[in-house]
Amino acid sequence: MDALNYPLSSYYDFQTGQIVPRDSYRQIHLSDMRGYYLADRETLHEPLKEDPLLYEVYECQVPAKPGEMVPCSTIIHPGSVGGEFYMTKGHYHSDTNAAEIYCCLRGHGLLLMQHGGQCLVETMKPGALVYVPAGWAHRSVNVGSEDLIIFAIYPADAGHDYGAIREKGFLKRVLRGPDGSPVVHEAS
Ligand code: M6P
Ligand code: ZN
Whether the CB-CB separation of 71 and 23 falls below 8 Å is answered with: no
Q: Are strands 69-76 and 53-59 parallel, antiparallel or unpaired?
A: antiparallel
164 Cα to the center of ligand 2, angstroms: 14
Determine the Cα–Cα distance for residues 125 and 98; give it in Å rounded to an integer: 24
95 Cα to the center of ligand 1, angstroms: 15
User: Mean pLDDT over residues 105-122, rounded?
Assistant: 98
User: Mean pLDDT over residues 128-150, rounded?
Assistant: 98
Name the percent of the chain lying above pLDDT 90: 85
User: Where does ligand 1 bind, in terms of residues with CB under 6 Å?
Assistant: 57, 72, 74, 88-91, 100, 152, 154, 160
Give the residue numbers spanning the domain of 21: 3-186
177 Cα to the center of ligand 1, angstroms: 26
In tens, the pLDDT along 147-176 reads 999 999 999 999 999 999 999 999 999 999
In tens, the pLDDT along 7-58 reads 889 999 999 999 998 889 999 999 999 889 998 766 655 667 789 999 999 9
Determine the Cα–Cα distance for residues 75 and 25; give it in Å rounded to an integer: 11
**Which residue, 179, 176, 188, is CA-closest to 83?**
176
pLDDT of residue 22: 85
pLDDT of residue 1: 42
Q: Which pTM was predicted?
A: 0.95
pLDDT higher at 44 or 81: 81
pLDDT of residue 23: 86
pLDDT of residue 40: 74
Q: What is the mean pLDDT of the chain?
A: 93
User: Mean pLDDT over residues 68-89, rounded?
Assistant: 97
pLDDT of residue 41: 62
Count structural domains, the chain.
Answer: 1
CB-based burial label for 161 (10 Å; 0-12, 13-18, 19+): middle
The helix (run of H) or strand (run of E) holding residue 110 is strand 109-115
Task: Specify the CATH number for the domain of residue 33.
Answer: 2.60.120.10
Confidence of residue 117 (pLDDT cuts 50, 70, 90): very high
Atom from ligand 1 closest to the CA of residue 70:
9
